[in-house]
A and B are shown apart, each in its own frame.
Chain A
Amino acid sequence: MDVKSPLYIQIADLLRDKIEKGIFTVGETIPSERELTETYGVNRMTVRKAVSLLVEEGLLIRKQGRGTFVNHPKINTTLDTIQGMGRFLNDMGIQSSTKLLYSGKRKARYKFSKMFHLNPEDSVFQVIRLRLGDGEPFVLEYIYTPYCLIDNIERYDFSTYSIFDIFTEQHKWVQSTEKVLSIIKIHNPQAALLNMMEDEFAFMMEERTYDQSENVVLYTKSYSSSKRFKFLTTML
């Protein structure tokens, strides 16, 4: 430990270490502020600051009136591969599920008429769904595709089907995907759906998928909490 670092950082490091070593386990409360104050002989403000830091990092989670708990470990995903999220989570031992919130038609209007080369009056198909890991929401997805692109798009169950599966099934070949990852402040209704507070920072990923003629055929905008989620990349 770096003895030059501020006391609260040192206390946070100690707590982090205990979480990593499994001395404090997922879903359990950590000792109270008073107990920590006594154990480490530091004042209450220092303990509070240390705990807040770990809450900010997502290692701990505060539950109103019930104490501070060790949070579920973060879910890692890659920025550079398209992989069925479900399979990915299952590989990590996390029980994944998808909750379909909405699917249906809407007018392309200006935004999607430009993106998909449609008339503003044409329809696009919109899917809103929530990805859960061990029952906790971690990604909220808004998916858009031209309505005319897929035959009978309504018949697919988007809580089990991946869009790419549908494209493949209907022989719509896609060529490339472009992703942009940014950090935004989250607002409602997205915040509430992700069990986040409004104004917290979140990842926003925009993905545009192109066909062979370089037309956008699929647009996805997704939000995820950094407390539940990290991105991994490997570059060669």
Chain B
Amino acid sequence: MGKYINLLSEELREDIEEYIDRNQLKPGDKLPSERELAKMLGANRITVRDALRQMRYENLIYTVHGRGNFISKPYYIEDAKNFISYTAGWTSDGYEVTNRLISLNIIEADKKIAEHLEIAIGTEVYQIKRVRLLDGMELFLETAHIPTAYCPKLESFDFEKCSLYSTLEQFYQIKLIKQKHVISITKLTAPENHFLRASEGTAAFLIHGVTFDTENRPVEYCVSLNRADRYAMSSKLIL
């Protein structure tokens, strides 16, 4: 079994997690040093180091150079139900939702945008780029594309304040009811990492989403980058 699971470091990791749990360590609290953990848990330092590395790789702890290991904040966990009602979903989970508008332009649809929105290449679309924050923390960078023909004068709305979907519904009678996502992994590079105030190379969820209205017409094509060091996705299924 040793080939498939590193039993020593796995058990030690469980011991460290037990220590954290029993001593009710909170996010930001410091873990005992490698040497202290080794002594306390009766393990050698190499095993301790390996267990801590696993925990760091899974974002449970973080290391401050020269100062030691600290408990990470839990992920912002997004329930899949939030996708379609972003603001309402996060607000009901108790988070303060704010948006920062980076740009709102009219561009010509390239091949990718055109395919997803089922329009001709070169059709005018709004491109709305926003950073979305929870409790003041930059988490998501969203670039939405919507054909201008569906919602003329969309640029007159302030999308730092207004929800895009509510605006479409209230002012353009477009009700969005279905969303499809493809989720993969990417690394943040410039300039994206600057918008999210993350260091270059931070892992991110790369989500391509298409949102459909009641006529099953694709209305919005959105590319989101969600910081993976602070965010996870969940879904609950009743069987």
The CA of A142 and the CA of B21, in the complex, are separated in Å by 22
CB within 8 Å of B: which A166-208 residues: 174-189, 193, 201-204
Which residues of B are found within 8 Å of A203, using beta-carbon distances? 185
Asked whether A111 lies within 8 Å of B233 as measured between CB atoms, the reply is: no
Asked whether A181 lies within 8 Å of B233 as measured between CB atoms, the reply is: yes
Asked whether A233 lies within 8 Å of B236 as measured between CB atoms, the reply is: no
The CA of A201 and the CA of B205, in the complex, are separated in Å by 11
Contact surface of A with B, Cβ cutoff 8 Å? 1-2, 56, 74, 76, 79-82, 101-102, 104, 109-111, 114, 128, 142, 174-189, 193, 201-204, 226, 230-236
The CA of A176 and the CA of B1, in the complex, are separated in Å by 31
Contact surface of B with A, Cβ cutoff 8 Å? 1, 3-6, 11, 14-15, 17-18, 21, 53-54, 57-59, 75, 77, 80-81, 83-84, 110, 177-187, 203-205, 228, 232-239
Asked whether A189 lies within 8 Å of B5 as measured between CB atoms, the reply is: yes
Query: Could you write out 28 A-B pairs with CB less than 8 Å apart?
Result: A1-B110, A2-B110, A56-B186, A101-B3, A102-B5, A104-B1, A110-B14, A110-B15, A110-B17, A174-B239, A177-B237, A179-B237, A180-B77, A182-B58, A182-B59, A184-B57, A184-B58, A185-B58, A186-B57, A202-B185, A226-B184, A230-B182, A232-B180, A233-B80, A233-B179, A234-B179, A235-B84, A236-B178
Asked whether A175 lies within 8 Å of B238 as measured between CB atoms, the reply is: yes
5 nearest A-B pairs in the assembled complex, by CB-CB distance: A226-B185, A183-B228, A182-B232, A185-B57, A110-B18
The CA of A101 and the CA of B110, in the complex, are separated in Å by 47
